[in-house]
Structure 1
Amino acid sequence: MPIRMAFLGPKGTYGERAAKEMIRLEQISDAELVPCTGLRSVVDHVADGRCEAAVVPVENSVEGGVTASLDALWSHPDLCIRRALVLPIRHALLSSGSIESVTEVLSHPQALAQCSGWLATHLPQALQLPTTSTAEAARMVKGSRFRAAIADRSVGELQGLEELAFPVNDVVGNRTRFLLLHRGERLRGGQLASLAFSLHRNAPGALIEALQAIAGLGLNMSRIESRPSKRELGEYVFFVDVELPTSGADVVLTKLQTLLSPLCEHLADFGAYPSSEFN
């Protein structure tokens, strides 16, 4: 049976490209890619067993954390991260018409934000319309003379669209980090480990205590991000990535959980994992 891997569809998204790279890195010989509508659906597919794995974006170098992925992870603390992959993101403006006729630009909200400066300069009057994915935007503009999509340039070839401009992202070094999610046993070795936690109390010094536990073990915290708990105003969930030592990572992670557990109302351990970068 092939390993079913969910990703944000349809075909042609950056998520599909990341999924194919994950398959190569994990040396999976037989895989079936399953396109999903919406990031929550991608995570749900692996959480409820419809797929054995899922690939989701978690962080962009320009726009920061991908909140839909973070919220979905917090809802499924039984999931684990098996690998991270950083992909360069180079957007193109695609259409069936000319750039002079474009009055609407469609794309995923993250992509629109990553190209906001270019759009303000070159298409200041165009209406920006969010879609579920960049590839879906390309599908929706096919055949339209006044609509354009921001997507990977390869999608233009797939949909038969003209490439009106490339690249249109504001930052040359635009990159997105994707995670490979699984159910089952967590890895205890790798370059990084990810945890998420909520605190027992919203009081001065409560977060510092948790951060001091990390610092006290000599761990470098490569990312921290907060999300509303969705229970009450001012209550947050914190997502943390820490860099692990080359040896003894399992022991360090066990110590860290022991130190954090008394301080946290909920503590989610997503495991340790390797991280790769694709150019």
Structure 2
Amino acid sequence: MADDALTLESLRNQIDTLDQQIHQLLNERAKCAQNVADVKLAEVAPEERASVKFYRPEREAQVLRKVKDRNQGPLSDDTVAHIFREVMSACLALEQPLNVAYLGPAGTFTHAAAIKHFGHAVVANSVDSIDQVFSEVESGEAIYGVVPVENSTEGMVNHTLDNFIKSTVSICGEVELAVKHMLLVNKSADTSKITRICAHQQALAQCRNYLDKHWPNVPRVAVSSNSRAAQLASDEVGTAAIAGDMAAEIYNVDVAVENIQDSAQNTTRFLIVGREQVEPSGEDKTSIIVSMRNEPGALFSLLESFQREEIMLTRIDTRPSPTEKWAYLFFIEFEGHQDEPAIQRIMEELSERSVYMKMLGSYPKAAL
């Protein structure tokens, strides 16, 4: 027993020593980040300092990939990457706090996506609609915005796609978030006396099988967001909500049942929008909008350029044209960066063949 106690004490002392070293290195990294900010500001005239970029999406993606590549455990690649994500977030806040708009209220999955992508040091501001996220970024009120673009079970978020048609913002990044729905109730609630279940309409759809099996006779009420549903559950003993664990914490409600989503692979993808173009990171995607002439072979003509250049398409979706009856816009996403010669050749061809083409941006593939 004495030997065991001595071993345990020595291990704890070793941990204390390592913690001290980690702490010192964290502060050294933070000072280095501050020096980076000083160098950037010194390189421009005083009147131009407000426009200096401190956050570089391609650089952060490269750092996170390196973290995962060199990791040898026992911590998982994603765990180590999340730790470094928070370190970078805290260091960046010393250079320039990031103001990011997201579809609120607080506790939505879009809020969680913003924290996952930018870290907890970000200044996350809730807005009421996807339109407003785009407006906040366009006006400069927010440096970046976070909007949902597709769900693995419910498909594309058409409202987001429609905003890209009229907006001047660019896509600067992407983040994927595993959607884990919880059944939330008031802390004083008796689950046998629940009179209604509230959630956003997409969450109700994503949990349809579970609700049909376990709560077939309880009315389901669609509300503006899952966070709004959690608010209602917090205020009303007879109301249950479907939302995530972040909403449960913020609105102080109990988790009655975890993981009630019908698909274990339920994932939502979000896009980061900003006002600048992003430099190549080495592993990138590009998104465009194209409208082809209404003639035979138009779609084949559109795709043929990508096949010839051996560029992998990752998504194609269509939306009705806002200006022409029975005409459609193609939202196309593919691997590569717009600065690459092959991509530039494709863009030149599409410009010549299409009625309308808009570059939405090139951005790093999700690193987390």
TM-score w.r.t. length of structure 2: 0.68
Whether contact under 8 Å (1:38, 1:132) holds in the other structure is: no
Aligned to 1:269, the other structure's residue is in SS state strand
Cα 1:132–1:47 shift into 2, 3 Å:
farther
Matched position secondary structure for 1:276: coil
Is the Cα–Cα contact under 8 Å of residues 8 and 35 in structure 1 kept in the other structure? yes
- Structure 1 residue 40 and structure 2 residue 103: aligned? no
Provide the rounded CA distance (Å) in 2 between the counterparts of 1:239 and 1:14.
Answer: 24
> How far, CA to CA, are the matches of 2:231 and 2:149 in structure 1?
24
Which piece of structure 1 moves more, 149-158 or 100-109?
Answer: 100-109
The aligned counterpart of 1:68 is 159
* Residue 240 of structure 1, aligned match among 332, 339, 346: 332
Name the structure 2 match of 1:253: 343
Q: Give the Å deviation of 1:53.
A: 0.6
Q: Answer whether contact 1:37 1:132 (CA < 8 A) is retained.
A: no
Structure 1 residue corresponding to 2:284, chosen from 162, 187, 191 = 191
Cα RMSD of the aligned pairs, angstroms, is 2.1
Structure 1 residues 118, 254: CA separation in 2 closer, same or farther (over 3 Å shift)?
Answer: same
Aligned pair partner of 2:212 in 79, 98, 120: 120
Higher relative contact order (CA closer than 8 Å, sequence separation 6+): 1
Larger of the two Rg values belongs to structure = 2
2:248 aligns with 156
Aligned ranges for residues 1-150 of structure 1 at < 5 Å?
2-24=97-119, 31-76=122-167, 78-96=168-186, 97-150=189-242
Name the CA distance, whole Å, in 2 between partners of 1:126 and 1:249: 54
- CA positional deviation for 1:162: 1.9
Task: Quote the Cα distance in structure 1 between the aligned partners of 2:224 and 2:111.
Answer: 14
TM-score of the superposed pair, with normalisation by structure 1:
0.89
Are 1:58 and 1:178, in contact at CA under 8 Å, matched by a contact in 2?
A: yes
Contact map agreement 1:188 1:271 (CA 8 A) in 2: no
Secondary structure of residue in 1 paired with 2:366? strand
Higher strand share: 1
8 Å contact from structure 1 (residues 4, 34) kept in 2: yes
1:74-123 alpha-carbon deviations (Å, 9 max, x no partner): 221x2211111111110001122233322322222222221111112222
Which residue, out of 264, 268, 272, partners 1:180? Answer: 272
Q: Displacement of 1:32 after TM fit? A: 1.8
Q: 1:230 to 1:113 in 2, by over 3 A?
A: farther
Q: Equivalent residue of 2:343, what SS?
A: helix
| 3-state SS in 1 of match to 2:340 | helix
Paired residue total = 270
How far residue 210 of structure 1 moved from its aligned partner, in angstroms, is 0.7
Measure the CA separation in 2 of the matches of 1:154 and 1:23: 16
CA shift digits 1:136-158 (9 cap, x unpaired):
22112222132211110232222
Q: Deviations over 1:178-232 (max 9, x none)?
A: 1111112344554211111122x32321122111122221111111111122345
Q: CA deviation at 1:63?
A: 0.8
Query: CA 1:73–1:146 in structure 2 vs 1: closer, same or farther (change >3 Å)?
Result: same
Identity score, percent: 29
Amino acid at match of 1:162: D
Residue 56 of structure 1 contacts residue 179 of structure 1 at CA under 8 Å; is this kept in 2? yes
C-alpha contact 1:194 1:242 (8 A) present in aligned 2:
yes
Q: Does 1:275 align with 2:368?
A: no
Secondary structure at the aligned position of 1:2 is classed as: coil
Indicate if the aligned counterparts of 1:89 and 1:176 stay in contact, CA closer than 8 A.
yes
Partner of 2:260: 168
Q: Would the alpha carbon gap of residues 263 and 132 (structure 1) be closer, same or farther in structure 2, given more than 3 Å must change?
A: farther
| Cα pair 1:106 1:147 within 8 Å, conserved | yes
Flag structure 1 segments of 5+ consecutive residues without an equivalent: none
- Decide whether the 8 Å contact of 1:225 with 1:239 is kept in 2: yes
Deviates more, 1:98-107 or 1:11-20: 98-107
- For 2:221 and 2:135, the matched residues in 1 are separated by 26
Give the letter for the 1:146 counterpart: G
Instruction: Name the CA shift for 1:221/1:137 in 2 (closer, same or farther; >3 Å).
Output: same
CA gap 1:171/1:51 in 2 versus in 1, 3 angstroms: same
Partner Cα distance (2:157, 2:104) in 1 = 16
Question: Does the C-alpha gap of structure 1 residues 152 and 231 become closer, same or farther in structure 2, counting only changes over 3 Å?
Answer: same
Amino acid at match of 1:111: A
1:216 equivalenced with 2:308 (yes/no): yes
SS at match of 1:16: helix
Q: 1:30 to 1:117 in 2, by over 3 A?
A: closer
Question: How far apart in 2 are the matches of 1:237 and 1:116?
Answer: 32
SS at match of 1:145: coil
